[in-house]
Structure 1
Amino acid sequence: MTSAPTPRAGYTLPVFACAGAMAALRYLLNPGDRPQTIPLDLLNPPQPAAIPIAQLAPLPDGSVLAITHSDPGDNLDLTRRTPLWSVVAWGNEAQPEVIQLEGGEGIGKQLERGGAPAIYSYAKVLIAHHLTPLIPSGKTLRVTIILPEGRALAERTSNAAFGVVDGLSLLGTAGISQPLSAPGQLEQSREILRAKAAEHTHLVFCLGENGLDLATQIGIDPERRVKTANWLGPMLVEAGQVGVAGVLLLGYHGKLIKLAGGIFHTHHHVADGRQEILAACCAAAAVPLPTIQAILQAATVEAGLGLLRAQDEHLAQRVYQHMVERIDERAAAYVYAHTGYSLAVGTMVFDRLRQVVARSDRAQALFEQVLVD
């Protein structure tokens, strides 16, 4: 039997933004310099990368535009082949920073920071590291990153739930985009699960970085954490098959809510229905019909949670308590149906501020089992 090929890693959006800025700066310094590829040190991890430059041109205002295209590797990533525009121009004398990094069209705005562009520390550090040594003494630089398709793509993400609107984020703490959602990654995740199951009878499943970070903050043993990405169904089945006694699900409510509706692959390419599931949980908790109708029309489940909290905090808690208990039931039934084994599953969900919204009774019991000794 031929094993599945190892999924190919790619690069995060900041890497392409930096490569474009580097190419544009080189042309600004030496008109006619048109690099086809830009070599970068990713810094995290400290390894080289070669990023193709698709197009490069001076603009009438004296700035230079370079275009790259996102390559996230073998991921089910909506930014695949998305163009990134890096526009570089000399700064003015009043500019306080050597490099003024700005977000143009398609770069999201952070509501909690007064509309500041959603350009995070890794992107800033990477761009500063590569561009600063090339800037002549006494000069400053203005770098504007544009995602022409960013606003439209953002409508297919949960960005708004985390306070980022009108575009995508230059997010990422590292340069490598690990293929967590690629089909070939599932077997690697299973191998990690099997190794941890050999050491621990109780584990914590986290979909992504938010869950992993919160787990350590609330005292969970880091060695018990398993990053599942969107493969919750197969990973739960694997846990049942290898004899894990209990799994604590820890994740953003806008993802884990899908399990309450029987959806065990949580990527948006596969299935959605989150508002509908939240509305069903509201009906089960005897929420008034006008509120249920408003939740069905809400843009996100985060907005739906806000509606519930605005009406009655105790009502919101009742709905979410029903939700996490429902997830426990459906997850345990899913594992039993596929394996014939019983697996204790408990659920904890958090909101966009990483505050725990609800935990099931079983989650509380499992939580005690996975704390740092």
Structure 2
Amino acid sequence: MPASDTASPRAGYTLPVFACAGALAALHHLRDTDHRPRAITLDLLNPPLPATIAIDQLAPLPDGSVLAITHSDPGDNLDLTRNTPLWSVVTWGRVGQPERILLQGGEGIGRQLNRDQAPAIYQYARELIHHHLTPLIPEGKTLCVTIVLPEGRALADRTSNAAFGVVEGLSLLGTSGISAPLSAPGQLDQSREILRAKADQYAHLVFCLGENGLDLACQLGIDPDRRVKTANWLGPMLVEAGQVSLAGVLLLGYHGKLIKLAGGIFHTHHHVADGRQEILAACCAAEGVALPIIQEILKAATVEAGLQSLRDHDAQTAQRVYRHIVARIDDRASAYVHAHTGNPLTVGTMVFDRQRQVIATSDRARLLFEQVLVD
């Protein structure tokens, strides 16, 4: 694992790193049956650092393929994939296979509904596997690599993957090999330090929970240096903003996370609290939405599905409900800060959907937005 001292949370690696390490070990044994690596050191590419991954089991299979098994270690994160096994099955490609490496998703790898059921193996995972395996493929041969997550289907039921169009398993997701400990308690101290440093320069900042918000902020023209990544620690970070006497904070995030603040939940990790459909249903009731629609939202599998139900019934009603939600988030967040610090803090809220399209912007957010744009 990446080095860390006792004062810092330990980072780990993302799932693509373990899948690639297993595939590389399996390929070594496929090429040379005497080669049975117990660990694989590979280049993460992003960042360009080495990582050594233990190979827990390695075996040839009756069909001529080779199976290597690794176990995920995401570091000091509240991550449901901790210690989950990843199987990498490697075999020579069939005659006429057009791809040098055919990368497939087996059991437990999700399917992307918006991409013709393609396996949820994203760009970084593909780049990592192609980079490390291609130089080892003999001339005239091709390779077939199948990644299996035996526990992936069961784990997926505990995520919001379906809201993002990924079903029946998990994704080999990530743009980096490092799994930063965003949900570990030690990360909060680091985030507070970043906030204090930025508060010395700016009176108005933008809080983003994760990478989607950070990326969208730049697309919207927000000054990149005003962004602060909060992960799930929104409550403590808002209190810190009040303590350093910021003038205002713009909250920019996925509605399925930020909606929790409308219900007074200020730590957004699902291990802490949920109630998203219930909060959406309550806000619908406050806006006079018909009871059958509210009941439908309460039965929705995800809050994204609840939003879609609202839109299907009446797009204008959906807009009205979400304007109510962002205004309620503003009020509850400001009251939360005042209760804990005694200081005022103007909070404005912008929420987006799974397509990164902004759903609703509060009145305060519109004013704050003008304060955080690139000069």
Aligned equivalent of 1:30, options 25, 29, 32: 32
Report what 1:254 is aligned to. 256
> Match for residue 267 of structure 1?
269
What amino acid is the match of 1:301?
V
Secondary structure of 1:180 counterpart: coil
Alpha-carbon displacement from aligned partner over 1:263-287 (angstroms, at most 9, x marks no partner): 0000001000000000001100100
Map of 1:121 onto structure 2: 123
Corresponding residue of 1:345: 347
Residue in structure 1 matched with residue 203 of structure 2 by the alignment: 201
Given that 1:4 and 1:184 are in contact with CA atoms closer than 8 Å, whether structure 2 keeps it comes out as: no
| Superimposed CA distance per residue, residues 128-168 of structure 1 (whole angstroms, 9 cap, x where no aligned partner) | 11101111000000000011111111111111111111111
The residue correspondences of 1:353-364 to structure 2 (distance < 5 A) are: 353-364=355-366
Write out aligned runs for 1:202-221 (5 A): 202-221=204-223
The amino acid across from 1:86 in the alignment is: S
1:235 and 2:229 matched: no
1:182 to 181, 184, 189: 184
Deviation at 1:111, TM superposition (A): 1.0
Q: Would you say how many aligned residue pairs link Structure 1 and Structure 2?
A: 371
Q: How far apart, CA to CA, are the structure 2 residues paired with 1:72 and 1:171?
A: 13
What CA distance in whole angstroms lies between the structure 2 residues aligned with 1:341 and 1:159?
Answer: 38
SS at match of 1:226: strand
DSSP-derived class of the 2:34 partner: coil
1:184 alignment partner, SS class: helix
The equivalent position to 2:94 in structure 1, one of 92, 95, 98, is 92
Shift of 1:59: 0.8
Aligned counterpart, 1:69:
71
In structure 2, C-alpha distance between the alignment counterparts of 1:4 and 1:142, rounded to whole Å: 42
- For 1:118 and 1:35, locate their aligned partners in 2 and report how far apart those are by CA, in whole Å: 28
Instruction: Indicate the residue corresponding to 1:225 in structure 2.
Output: 227
CA–CA distance in 2 between the matches of 1:134 and 1:198?
Answer: 52
1:5 shift after superposition = 2.1
- Give the structure 2 partner of residue 156 of structure 1: 158
Q: Which string of whole-angstrom CA distances, capped at 9 and with x for unpartnered residues, describes residues 319-343 of structure 1?
A: 1011000000100010000000010
Q: Unmatched 5+ residue regions in structure 1? A: none
Equivalent of 1:329 in 328, 331, 341: 331
1:79 counterpart (64, 69, 81): 81
Of 140, 143, 160, which aligns to 1:141? 143
Kindly state the Cα deviation for residue 41 of structure 1 after the two structures are TM-superposed. Answer: 0.6
CA–CA distance in structure 2, aligned partners of residues 244 and 159 of structure 1: 35
3-state DSSP class of the match of 2:88? strand
Number of the residue aligned with 2:112: 110
> What SS class does the counterpart of residue 28 from structure 1 fall into?
helix
Aligned-partner Cα distance in 2 for 1:70–1:190: 29
Which residue pairs with 1:280 in the alignment?
Answer: 282
Letter in 2 for 1:183: P
Distance (whole Å) between structure 2 residues aligned to residue 203 and residue 166 of structure 1: 38
Identity, % of aligned positions: 79
Q: Deviation string for 1:52-110 (max 9, x for gaps)?
A: 00111111111111000000000111110010000001001221111000001111111
Would you say the 8 A contact 1:38–1:51 is kept in 2? yes
1:293-304 equivalent positions in 2, closer than 5 A: 293-304=295-306
Structure 2 stretches of 5 or more lacking a match? Answer: none
- Per-residue deviation, 1:4: 6.6
Q: What is the distance in 1 between the residues matched to 2:158 and 2:352?
A: 21
Q: Does the 8 A contact of 1:200 with 1:224 survive in 2? A: yes
Aligned with 1:39: secondary structure?
A: strand
**Distance of 2:151 and 2:199 partners within structure 1:** 43
Distance (whole Å) between structure 2 residues aligned to residue 177 and residue 267 of structure 1: 16
Amino acid at match of 2:214: L
Contact 1:75 1:182 in 2 (8 A): yes
Residue identity matched to 1:308:
L
